[in-house]
Amino acid sequence: MATAEAHRVVAVNAQIHHPACLPTMASLLRQIVAGPRMRHPEADLDLCYVTDNIIATSGPSSSYPQVAYRNPLKDLVKFLDSKHGSNWAIWEFRAEGTGYPDEEVYGRVKHYPWPDHHPPPFGLVPLIMASMRNWLQDKEAEGRVAVVHCKAGKGRSGTISCSYLISEEAWTAEDAMKRFTERRMRPGFGNGISIPSQLRTIRYVDRWTKNGKHYMERPAEIVELHVWGLRDGVKVAIEGYVEEGKVIKKFHQFAKAEREIVRGPIRKETGFADVAMEVMGKAKEKTKTMPKDAGDFVESQNGDGTKDTGTSGLNGTNSEIQPGGGDVIFRPSERIVLPNSDINIDFERRNKSKYGGFTMVTSVAHVWFNTFFEGNGPEQSGKVDDSGVFEIEWDAMDGIKGSSRKGTRAFDRMAVVWKTPAEEARRASVMVEEPGEGEPVREMSSADWRTSDDLSQDFEKKLGLRADMAASASVSRANSPGPSTGGSNAGDDVPDEIEGVKQHVPPTDENLLSGVTGDQRDTDVEKVEEATSKEDGEVSATAKKLKNPTTRSQDEGHQ
C-alpha cells in the first residue's frame, strides 16, 4: 500500500516537472502575481490601455526566474510590434533597474527612474510630460502609443499616466484617477493609485497645470518639527532625493538631545506586552482628546484658499487618540539643508525586549511634500513663500512599501516648519519649464538593468522582530539592513506585484467597463494585501524551480 502511494507521488511529481508543463505553470504564476490586476485577454499579458494611446504595464523581464512570473519581454515586444508596428516607445521609472537592456526594445525607451513606492521628484515631471507629448502628438506620425511601466505598473505608472492626462489632455484630476482605476484594477480591489504621497503629487500636477506650468527647484531647510502625541522609541529622519532622483538620502537623524518635550511625559514601554496591549487597544490609561492648541500652526494650503491637513481626502484621524504620547519639538543642532524642494519625513518606532537580544519594530511610516507647492508657488507665478508649515496626521502617512500598513500609532499629528535658505537659494535655484513642442527634452541616466528587482529603496523596511545590533543602538531606521525573524527574505518574495491590477483591451469595446461602480472599486485594499502577501514567497520559490528554457534544451540535447 505504502509502495503504491509512493509510486503515485513520484508519478505526479514527474508530471508536474515535465518540460511540457513548465509553460503552463509559468502562466499560472503570472496570473497569481497579477492578482487583482486583470490580464489582457488577447495577449495574456499584464497590461492595460489607459487610453487608446497610453499603455500601462508591469515591468517586463528577460531573465530567470523573474520571467516566470512577470511579463516576458519577448512576448510584450511581439504584442506591441503586431498591434502598433514601430509606433510604440517605452517610458520606464524603475530606480531598481529595468531588468532588460535597451537593445531588446530596439532602443525605444526613455529613462526617468525613481524609487518604488514613492512620488516622483517633481523636477522630473515637466520633462516626462514634454517627452511623452512630443512622441504622442507629433503631427507627422499618427497612431503612436506610449508604454509606461514601473514594477507593478500601478503606483509610479499611474502617477505619470494621470499627470499626462491632466497636463496634456485637459482631464480633471478626478477623471484621470477614475479612468486609471477602471482600466487597471479589477472591480472591488481598490484604487489604482493609493499611496498618499503619490496622490499629493497628482494634486500638485493639477495646480501646476492650471497656473502656467511654472516650477522652481530650489534648496529647502528644515527649521523644526512639532509632533503631538509622540510615543516612546520613535526615530525621526529627514530625507531627500539625490542622483537625479534615483536615490533617497538621509540628511539628518534627530537625536534625543535635539528633542524638547513641551507637554506630557512620553511613557516608556516596559516590553513587548505593552506593545501588544496597545495593538489591541487596551492601553493602561484612558483615552484623551487632542489638545486645543494642536492646530495653532498654519495649515498647508492647497492654493485655492482651502486648508490641507495632509490627509489628501483620505480618512482623517479621530479626535480620540491613544494615551502614552507627549508633545515634542525637534530642533536640529546643525542646519538641515536639502538640495531641492522634495522632502521626506521618515518615522520608525522600536521597542526593546527587557530581556535583551531582540527589538520589535512596531511602526514604520513616512510622508513626502514639496515646498514649492506648499509655499503657493504655482498661484504666485513661481514666486514661492520664503517659509511655511506642512501639517499631517498619522492616519494620512504613507505605509510600508506602498501599503496602508504602518503598525501601531507612533504619533498623532505632525507639523514641519520649513524655510528657503537665502544663500543656498541664490546659488542653486533653477526655474524648470516644460520644454515646448518639438524641443529636445533631457533624459535621465538609467539604473543598472542587471540590478535584482527584489531590491528596492525600502531595503528591509518591515514590521516585526529584529536581532538587536550595537550599530543601531543610537541610530535606528526601518530600512537598516539586519536580520529579522518571520516573513520572507528580501530575495525570496515578489514584493508589490500582487497589488491588484488588471488588463484592459484597447478601448474599442467600452462595454467592458459597464456596470463597474465606484462602490465596487472602493473596497478595503488591506484585505487584498493580507491575502496575497502569503503567496509572495510561494510564487518566487516555485518560479525558481522552473528551468531556464535555454538550460532545459541543452539538457535535452545530452540525453
pTM metric for this prediction: 0.76
Tell me, what's the pLDDT at 351? 81
* CA dist., res. 37 & res. 59, Å (int): 13
* CA dist., res. 389 & res. 397, Å (int): 16
Q: Is 118 helix (H, G, I), strand (E, B) or coil?
A: coil
Residue 456 burial by CB count (10 A; 0-12/13-18/19+): exposed, middle or buried? buried
Q: 3-state SS of 148-210?
A: EECCCCCHHHHHHHHHHHHHHHCCCHHHHHHHHHHHHCCCCCCCCCCCHHHHHHHHHHHHHHH
Tell me, what's the pLDDT at 276? 58
What ranges in 63-114 are assigned the alpha helix state H?
A: 66-69, 73-84
Tell me, what's the pLDDT at 111? 98
Tell me, what's the pLDDT at 460? 57
The widest CA-to-CA distance across the chain, in whole angstroms, is: 85
Tell me, what's the pLDDT at 298? 31
* CA dist., res. 77 & res. 106, Å (int): 9
Residues recognised as catalytic: 150
Mean pLDDT by 10 residues, the chain (559 residues): 49 46 46 49 82 96 65 94 97 94 97 97 98 95 95 96 99 98 92 97 99 97 98 95 96 96 77 55 45 37 46 37 76 98 96 71 96 98 96 96 90 98 94 96 94 54 69 41 37 45 59 40 41 45 47 48
Tell me, what's the pLDDT at 428? 93
216's grid cell: 522652481
For residues 201 and 372, the answer to whether their CB atoms sit within 8 Å is no
Q: Is 242 helix (H, G, I), strand (E, B) or coil?
A: strand
What ranges in 418-489 are assigned the alpha helix state H?
A: 422-428
Q: Which domains, ranges and CATH numbers included, belong to the chain?
A: 20-213+440-456+495-558 (3.90.190.10), 218-433 (2.60.40.1110)
List pLDDT tens digits, range 43-84. 579 999 999 999 999 999 876 665 556 789 999 999 999 999
Tell me, what's the pLDDT at 285? 44
List pLDDT tens digits, range 203-212. 999 999 999 9
Tell me, what's the pLDDT at 501? 65
Tell me, what's the pLDDT at 64? 61
